[in-house]
Amino acid sequence: MKKILIFLTIVLLSTTALAKEINPWEQKLPFNEAIISYEITGTQTGSSTLYLKDYGKTSALFRNVTTKILMMKTQESTLNITTRDWVYSIDLNEKTGMKQVNPEKYLIEEFNKLSAAEQKKVAANVEEFGMSFVTGMEGTFEKNAKKILGYNCDKITMMGTTVYSISNIGLPLKTKSNMMGMKFKEKATEIKKTSVPADKFMVPDGVKIRYIPDNDEIARNHAKMVIQSMLEDKQPTPKMEASQPAEQPEDPEKAPAGMEEQMKSLMKMFGGSSD
């Protein structure tokens, strides 16, 4: 539940910014290639590094965190790679991972099938539904609320979570959460606009990747449902299983870690930034 709430916050922040684009799923970051470093504090401590190229269409997020609850301590090392076609979720400690189709691929395909008038309607509804959800959850949205590392950031607060994302883009630079006694903060400390080595976007040697082809058709059908709902002025119902493997039982010690990546398909459904 905690993972879903934080990710919904990022989703909705992205939708209010990106719906003004003709295609909500074709947005570009303000840099072609970059490396963003984050510091993680709170119940978890550690760091994450986000590598970006193709204006954000290709990304790799490395996370190394330690979780401490009472006398228990766990360590996680994960990698999430996103390309235009695929998403890889990898546990670097276990050397295992999951490969799945990028749901954004099918959303773009379905959107591009529409007439110009239909595309305009879908883009408008993305923004409207995002804002109505925020209001319904007694959340708040503030445009250009703060500047982080030289970028104006929009702010959304909802159900114990606050997210600052680059204005009109939706890329989170700061996330704070305090729910059910779990305090979590992740803040960008540096943005380097520089070329990124190609191997950062490759699955490391020795990692065993699992792939379930049947999930591709589920993701395609879900994309059709999302676009059709937008055309009919209906808010689509998030179905996490549409493009993700079955969720494992939630470990309360690991809840904050990697939540953006674990809910990526939900974010893409509403046209938000994927990292």
> Would residue 102 count as lying in a domain?
yes
Does residue 133 lie within any of the structural domains?
yes
Q: Treating both helix axes as pointing N-terminal to C-terminal, what angle do 214-231 and 103-112 enclose, rounded to 10 degrees?
A: 40
The CATH number that applies at residue 70 is 2.50.20.10
Q: Where in the sequence is the domain holding 29, given as residue range(s)? A: 2-269
31-44 in b/e form (b: 16+ CB < 10 A) is: bebbbbebebebbb
CB proximity list for 137: less than 8 A, separation 6 or greater: 158, 159
* Average pLDDT of span 191-210: 97
Residue 106 lies in a domain: yes
Could you read off the pLDDT of 47-94 as tens digits, one per residue? 999 999 999 999 999 999 998 888 888 999 999 999 999 999 999 999
| pLDDT tens string 79-132 | 999 999 999 999 999 999 999 999 889 989 999 999 999 998 888 887 777 666
Token couple for 139: 């959340």
Residue 275 forms part of a structural domain? no
Q: What is the tally of structural domains in the chain?
A: 1
